[in-house]
Amino acid sequence: MENFKATKITVKGRVQGVGFRPFIFFIAEKYAICGTVQNNMDGVKIIAEGEVSSVAAFVEVIKTKPPRIARIDQIKVEEISFNNFNSFTIIESERGGKSSLVIPVDTAVCPECLAEMEDPENFRYQYPFINCTQCGPRYTIIRELPYDRPYTTMSDFLMCEDCKKEYDDPTNRRHHAQPIACPKCGPTVTLSSIKGEFLSTGKKAIDETIKYIKSGKIVAIKGIGGYHLACDAMDEDVVQRLRQRKKRPNRPLAIMAGTVTAVEKVASFCQKEIELLHSPEAPIVVLKKKENDTLPEAVAPGMNTIGVFLPYTPLHKLLFLNSELDLIIMTSANPSGLPMLHKDDEAFTYLDGIADHILSSNREIEHPIDDSVVQLVNDEVHFFRRARGYVPDPIFTERDVNGVIALGPQQKNTFTFGRYDQLFIGPHIGDMGSVEVTNHYLNEFLHLEKWMGVNRVVVAHDMHPQYETTKLAQEMKASVIIPVQHHHAHHVACMEDNLLKEPCFGLILDGTGYGEDGNIWGFELLYGDAISFKRMGHLAYYPLPGGEKAVKEPWRNAVGLIISQFGIEEGKSVSATLFPEKQREIEIIATMIDKKINSPLAGTCGRLFDAVSAMVRTCTVSTYDGEAAIRLSELVSEEEVIDEYYPFELIVKDGIVQISLKNMLKEVIKEIGQGKEAKQISLKFHETIVQICTSLLSEATKQNPFLPKKVVLSGGSFHNRYLLTKLVKALKEKDFQVFTHKKVPCSDGGISLGQLIIASEKNN
Amino acid sequence: MSEKISLAHGDGGELAHQLIQEVFVSAFEHHEHARLDAALLHVPSNKLAISTDSFVIKPVFFPGGNIGKLAIVGTVNDIAVSGAEPLYMTVGFILEEGFLIKDLKEIVTAMAEEAKKANVKIVAGDTKVVERGSVDGIFINTTGVGVIKEENFLPRKIKEGDSVIISGTIGDHGVAILSARGELGLLTDLESDCACLNRLIDDIMSASNKVKIMRDPTRGGVATTLVEICEDFKVAIEIREDDLPIKPEVEGACDLLGFEPLYLANEGKLLVIVAKEDEAKVLEVMKKHELGIDATSIGHVVEQGEGKLFLKMTLGSRRRLNRLSGIQLPRIC
Ligand SMILES: [Fe+3]
Ligand SMILES: [Mg+2]
Ligand SMILES: [Zn+2]
Ligand SMILES: [Zn+2]
């Protein structure tokens, strides 16, 4: 037996429900390995006996060529004594271990399935629901765990003999593919008018959908996570009509492109971006718009980027095959304030007046989920929104976070569960401002909590007294409830994203968050760890007259800033030169500020960007979250280099550095008066923020020379490519170790991760 | 008589006597009670409704009323919405040294007029004068006594489907006061809706015996009042954004200031929760009354969400409304 070896191989990661056991079975046969493979609560356990070189080759293949959607986080090989197996078998799951059981994620259609779908000889030719163990819906169709067909929405369909044969055959790539289906036994698509009249079904429905899209109609299409609204992206009229009907004047719309070649028409990209587009997660990738592109401006007004994704369901793919369509607007169908529509009856109710037709299907969506949105910055994946394809895949931590739950913030909400060393970040929920979204939140939250078997002990929430999640926290049954300061959560989210534990600096450039002093924070230099933090510096406060109104209408915020710096009388006249159409309102706003009527104090980066955006008249009223700041940032490119910036002062008050912008403001106003272009002012302003931040950190390290020169960058403003790129560079040049977000968004979508770690550490 | 209130007006001596005779007694006409230390009253029922409230409004005079009128209205309405008929009142004044007697007279006259209109007798009173700076001009406390007939006992059991009616436009008082402060420049010349509701309530109570509860949505506005009803009676209410009666001036002022009309105070508005089947009947009698011309149904009691108030938005989604909580801090990130 010298040339032979017996080993126990344990594999952890995303290895269940991804065709891992059939894959192991297949390579075991290939290398003449005997033994067993089984799922257990920790992952997959393999007993492999065979020639030493075969076992080595076997392990190598597991490491290097695992199934497309598997993700191996850890593989452990131990030598054990022989059992003398004479075959290789898949054996019954074992109910032991610390439960790292995961819920599979929804995955883009795989190349093998696509090839079959396009093969006229195949019995699934042009079948819009073709899938296998490597692709198709998962999370969205699960009613209960374990992930098994009877507990999914596919239980409504009885497998035909052909499908059953594949499903049962361990050597088939559809072995235990729970959503397996074919034209004979599986779901079908149906095209209806928006009033609900049946038009057609099957292939005819798809052909007619194509015809309608090509003739300038808006069709609602049911996908994996919910309904999208689709129309021809190159047809300016229909795009405008979609905007009017959806009451979305400016928010950029995403485009689904038939192929990468089609993407080339409108955007430029690098190899890594192509890989992202083609990845099994198939996110929307934000790309640079091509100069002189032919894309109608209405698709993404004022933006120099465009969100693009590739067809990720077989149905999407069929829309492009032989249709001569290559760019389709594919925007999620969520009427104002509601979650993504996913139920057919709701779609007909809410889309009446928005869509012309509905392409539906009888495969139910149990858990709606939005498309994920990512961008490549500094050659790293940067999340805007973590949802379909990534959720509910766990991320691993080096702490024990069992039983800790974080409810997340008010907007761009996600929640997070802790189970031992795993963190489950829930799907992007969005704005918690409506009852429907709160109900959707609770539905996803309670399901995941149950599925994970998390025993709720500690609940973390944002300190803001008026956040919906704060109310939810108070209503929840938990022995410990821990409020967390918003920017501390950002800070720690970024620390955890980089597995940092020791105290470090956190530069948090953000929209708005409730501060410990009751004011609105959002331009913060913090120092600390999960247990505690110290505020080292911040932007000097100024009033936001009208509160939320000033967030939605940045010109008010600009007036607030100007009056706070120049005093009432001068402030009023300066404001009136910038906003001559608002004379009357400016008078009243000045009094509101003077008498402290509905004018909370704020010092935030997002609001500062808004104010400048309004002052240069790029955007005086935001029609979607952060529009003013985003459009100001879209005027500049991170490739530009500028060596001038506006003057600013750092003033130390009570040991805290305050950033004063009076002189910057004077210069900006002077330059506006001189007719300087918005683009130039924006660039200089961006550079000023970079300079302020580096000075702030230099000042802090000068005053505290023993603190490590380590800084995490977090907060929504770091979606700004110029800020992110230039600050990382500038801080590195000053010998700082700089850490940015990797697995969660820098904006409020990452807050729950930070809340959870803080609550967990504070509770220990 | 002097022009301004001095400390001596409150010391129980000659000046105080003069003030009481010239200002209060002549206005309130309660000669017979003035001879005893307490008012002795007859009531035609053994179930009393008693309510007390203090008024500290700024400015003291505003379009549509003054602090005195408000002091009567506030207490009369608190008694009336409980289903009782307000009969008697006591008034207490705390005056700042230097307050103009002319102004005091105007205030007291308004009180007398309003009490007369509401058919309420002012039966006892008290006046104190404090040093300059100790109060802001004038504070008034009123206490009211009313009687309630057995058949009018409220609340009655609130049920799913019950209608929520408002007697008229919301937020008028709040905006009128803001404008009257003059700090904001002239926002609008809108008058406060300040008025006694007991006559209107009489008519409603005689028209329907299915009124479940009534409230006057004063401080905290319609939203806060309804949240309190939802919590106190463990019901859920949904109101419809589209159906809320709001004057354009109020809408405009709110737009400017970033306020929500649903949270602005009203001083002459009535919220009625009534069984669905009596909704039309109640609306009809309300509309006949000058204080109820704009009465309209704004919502109903729903099944799901015990203790919560919802606002059905024009665009289809629903928002949960909470009670007014100090300053509204932006939640937008
Ligand atoms: Fe934030
Ligand atoms: Mg009262
Ligand atoms: Zn496949
Ligand atoms: Zn089949």
Complex-level ipTM? 0.87
Using DSSP's 3-state secondary structure scheme, residue A739 falls into: strand
Using DSSP's 3-state secondary structure scheme, residue A213 falls into: helix
Torsion over CA: A552, A556, A560, A565 (sign) = positive
* Alpha carbon distance B19, B9 (integer Å): 7
- Please name the residues between 627 and 686 in chain A that touch chain B, using a CB distance below 8 Å: none
CATH class of residue range A4-90: alpha beta
pLDDT averaged per 10 residues, chain A (length 764): 88 84 91 92 89 95 92 91 93 66 87 97 98 94 87 95 94 90 98 96 97 98 97 97 95 97 95 96 96 88 96 98 94 89 94 96 96 95 97 91 96 95 94 94 93 89 95 90 98 98 98 96 98 97 95 97 96 97 93 91 98 98 96 95 96 92 96 97 98 96 94 98 97 97 97 98 94
Residues in chain B predicted with pLDDT less than 70, given as ranges, are 1, 30-36, 185-187, 326-329, 332-333
Q: Which residues pair with B138 in a beta bridge?
A: B95
Q: Does the beta carbon of B328 lie under 8 angstroms from any beta carbon of chain A?
A: yes
Residue pairs spanning A and B at CB distance below 8 A: 119
Q: What is the pLDDT of residue A264?
A: 94
CA–centroid distance, residue B75 to ligand 2 (Å): 6
CA–centroid distance, residue B74 to ligand 2 (Å): 5
Q: Residues A620-625: contacts with CB within 8 Å, 24+ apart?
A: A620/A553, A620/A554, A620/A555, A620/A579, A621/A552, A621/A553, A621/A554, A621/A555, A622/A551, A622/A552, A622/A553, A622/A554, A623/A248, A623/A249, A623/A250, A623/A251, A624/A248, A624/A250, A624/A251, A625/A411, A625/A412, A625/A431, A625/B332, A625/B333
Minimal Cβ distance to A435: which of B257, B318, B331? B318
Q: What is the pLDDT of residue A100?
A: 55
Q: Does the beta carbon of A552 lie under 8 angstroms from any beta carbon of chain B?
A: yes
Provide the annotated active-site residues of A.
Answer: 21, 39
Using DSSP's 3-state secondary structure scheme, residue A339 falls into: coil
* Alpha carbon distance A110, A88 (integer Å): 27
Tokens of B58: 């700024």
Measure B111 CA to nearest chain A CA, in Å: 31
In 10 A of CB A105, how many CB atoms? Answer: 23
Ligand whose nearest atom lies closest to the CA of B82: 2
The angle subtended at Cα B163 by Cα B157 and Cα B167, nearest 5°, is 110
Residues of chain A with C-beta less than 8 angstroms from the C-beta of B256: 546, 585, 588
Please state which architecture CATH assigns to domain B162-321. Alpha-Beta Complex (3.90)
Nearest CA in chain B to A412: B333
Minimal Cβ distance to B316: which of A338, A409, A600? A338
Q: What is the pLDDT of residue A526?
A: 98
Please answer whether residues A367 and A268 qualify as being in contact, where contact means their C-beta atoms are separated by less than 8 angstroms.
no
CATH 3.90.650.10 positions along chain B are: 162-321
- Best mutation target among A549, A551, A579, A585 (most B Cβ atoms within 10 Å) is A549
Q: What is the pLDDT of residue A95?
A: 63
Q: What is the pLDDT of residue A97?
A: 57
Q: What is the CATH number of domain B4-148?
A: 3.30.1330.10
Q: What is the pLDDT of residue B31?
A: 54
* Alpha carbon distance A413, A469 (integer Å): 9
Write out the residues surrounding ion ligand 4, Cβ under 5 A. A 160, 163, 182, 184-185
User: Which residues, other chains included, contact B33 with Cβ-Cβ below 8 Å and sequence gap of 6+?
Assistant: B39, B40, B123, B124
Minimal Cβ distance to A337: which of B183, B305, B317? B317
- Alpha helix segments (H runs only) across chain B: 14-19, 26-28, 67-80, 101-118, 172-180, 198-207, 221-233, 248-257, 279-288
* Alpha carbon distance B94, A759 (integer Å): 51
Q: What is the pLDDT of residue A237?
A: 97
Backbone angles phi, psi at A332, to 5 degrees: -65, 140
CA–centroid distance, residue B322 to ligand 2 (Å): 20
CATH 3.30.1330.10 positions along chain B are: 4-148
Up-side HSE of residue A509: CA atoms within 13 Å toward CB? 23
Give me the residue spans of the domains in chain A.
4-90, 189-361, 539-739
Q: Does the beta carbon of B317 lie under 8 angstroms from any beta carbon of chain A?
A: yes
- The reply to whether residue B332 touches residue A512, judged by beta carbons under 8 angstroms, is yes
Residues of chain B with C-beta less than 8 angstroms from the C-beta of A511: 332-333
- The reply to whether residue A547 touches residue B187, judged by beta carbons under 8 angstroms, is no
Q: What is the pLDDT of residue B327?
A: 65
CATH class of residue range A189-361: alpha beta
CA–centroid distance, residue A125 to ligand 4 (Å): 12
Q: Does the beta carbon of B1 lie under 8 angstroms from any beta carbon of chain A?
A: no
- Please name the residues between 152 and 181 in chain B that touch chain A, using a CB distance below 8 Å: none
CATH 3.40.640.10 fits A539-739, yes or no: no
Which burial class, exposed, middle or buried, applies to B241 when counting CB atoms under 10 A from its CB (0-12, 13-18, 19+)? middle
Residues of chain A with C-beta less than 8 angstroms from the C-beta of B315: 247, 335-337
CA–centroid distance, residue B55 to ligand 2 (Å): 9
Residues of chain B with C-beta less than 8 angstroms from the C-beta of A594: 183
Host H or E run for residue A610: helix A605-615
CA–centroid distance, residue A716 to ligand 1 (Å): 6
For residue range A333-372, list pLDDT tens digits in order: 988 889 999 999 999 999 999 999 999 999 999 999 999 9
Please answer whether residues B235 and B308 qualify as being in contact, where contact means their C-beta atoms are separated by less than 8 angstroms.
no
